[in-house]
Structure 1
Amino acid sequence: MTRQAYSFVRSFDAEPARELCVDHHYLLCASAGALRLEARGRAWVLPPARAALIEAGEPIRVSIGRPVTTASVLFDTGFVPVPSAPLAVFDLSPLARCLVAEVGKWGASDEPLPAYAETLFAALAAVSWRLAERPSPVVVPAGRSPELRRALWLTEERLGGPVRFEDVADEVGLAPRSLARRFADETGMTWRAVLRRLRLLRAIEELAAGDTPVTTIAFAVGYTSLSAFNAAFQELTGRTPTEYRASFRP
């Protein structure tokens, strides 16, 4: 008999995307660096201040662009209730982060949890399940059709330099009007709105990766004005880039 819950703390080098599907409810988060998560036609970045709660049996796709350390928790389906949504990404509260750190002492094992540990895991589940009811708006569509997925990939590859919608459409073999309809049908957003989200997600990854100055990050993701970058970042996340980076630290 495995434990009712256990922690998974491990460091990974950069690696390509891989599919995951586990038989436990899964609180996926990083303690250093950032993960890229894709599921149900959407994509998120998970820096240390953010987590994903994934229902048991829900398939996800995880990629690691740079070295990362995970600090995740798996809950037996008989130990906690079913999450209110199959997948939710949300900002971790200070209490949740402290609990994730504290339960890191108990990994996978056939030994039962001591009463203290069981109480901590139950408290973490209660806090996380509540936080998951307020998902983060920092998400981008992943696309369904091959043409749109390639258009998204091309757009993201060119974030740091000039990127024109007409050029992207030409490279995926669609007329601009046809590609615009694909964006509307598959994402509910315009290409320009998606471009803005991609820039901000890349900025979050850069903020989590180290101490690169915010101005350098703004220009690297395609902004020509620090004030415009700060305004866009704060509009989406509710915090300035500097405040958001500070939230990564315990």
Structure 2
Amino acid sequence: MTRVAYSFVRTFAPESARDLCVDRHYLLCASAGTLRLAARGQSWLLLPARAALIEAGSPIRVSIPRPATTASVLFDTRFAPAPPAPLTVFDLNPLARALLTECRAYTEEPLPVYAEKLFAALAAVTWRLAERPSPVVVPAGRSPELRRALELTEQRLGGEVRFEDVADEVGLAPRSLARRFAEETGMTWRAVLRRMRVVAAIEELAAADTPVTEIAFTVGYTSLSAFNAAFKELTGRTPTAYRASFHP
């Protein structure tokens, strides 16, 4: 008998990037730790109290920088429609969290009628939430030069990072690299740098109880007010409020 849907919980040790592709729609929910998911030129953070919805047959890259625990649901493609996008990350609302908790009890077939209705309700709610993806996403780049430029920029977030130095190391003139950023990301390098710093700060907020001021300096800000402004511009919340959202 074909499984219409089933749930499972896993704990992962840190690991480098690997490819993932499944033949069912995949709802991946983080309860602890952080995962990075990349597909189609973008990289998302999967944080506690957030979920990723991955379309069946859509390849993604997954990396786990710190230990993480996830609750997952796999939906047969005949049971649930195609998601609104191949990969989206979004906040879970209280109803979705409650349904996910109920569905965790059902890991095998055959499913009772009650369980099928639970999974159907979970799909309906999370598919709708996926229409409003999280803003915590950074470009992954298509060309080797831009991917290398993004890698170098991320490695130097905590210190002084100069666009001219990055361009020199990837073998492009600054004007050419600036054009690559515009064409492949729709953003300037400076905007990408600012977003990377906020994303790195979010990872630190999720990992420990490190003071916000210390995190701001760690990711390259010398002014707490500038950090708070950049953080709120991207997420719509202060760093403290965002940290609180990991434990709804």
TM-score interval for Structure 1 and Structure 2 normalised by the shorter chain: over 0.9
Instruction: Report the equivalent of 1:69.
Output: 69
2:9 paired with 1:3 = no
Give identity over the alignment, percent. Answer: 81
Q: Output the amino acid matched with 1:30.
A: A
Query: How far does residue 170 in structure 1 lie from its aligned partner after superposition?
Result: 1.0
CA drift of 1:224 comes to 1.0
The SS at the match of 1:174 is: coil
- 1:70, 1:131 → 2: CA distance? 18
- Residue 205 of structure 1: aligned partner: 203
Residue number in structure 1 paired with 2:91 = 91
Name the structure 1 match of 2:34. 34
Report Cα offsets for 1:158-200 as digits up to 9, x if no partner. 1111111111111111111111111111111100000011111
| Pairing of 1:169-248 with structure 2 (within 5 A) | 169-248=167-246
How many residue pairs were aligned?
Answer: 248
Q: What's 1:13 paired with?
A: 13
Residue aligned with 1:105, SS: coil
Q: RMSD value over aligned CA atoms?
A: 1.2
Match of 1:112 among 101, 110, 113: 110
Secondary structure, aligned partner of 1:207: helix
| Structure 2 residue matching 1:58: 3-state secondary structure | coil
Cα separation, 2, equivalents of 1:166 and 1:39: 28
Q: 1: distance between equivalents of 2:87 and 2:215?
A: 29
Residue 140 (structure 1) shift: 0.9
Structure 1: stretches of 5+ with no match in the other structure: none
1:84 counterpart letter in structure 2: P
Letter of the 1:25 counterpart = H
1:156 CA displacement: 0.3
Q: What's the TM-score, normalizing by structure 2?
A: 0.96
Q: Following the alignment from structure 2 to structure 1, what is the Cα–Cα distance between the partners of residues 112 and 156?
A: 51
Work out the CA distance in 2 between the residues paired with 1:157 and 1:104: 38
**Cα distance in 1, alignment partners of residues 97 and 6 from structure 2:** 15
Matched, 1:143 2:125: no
1:116 and 1:209 mapped to 2: Cα distance? 37
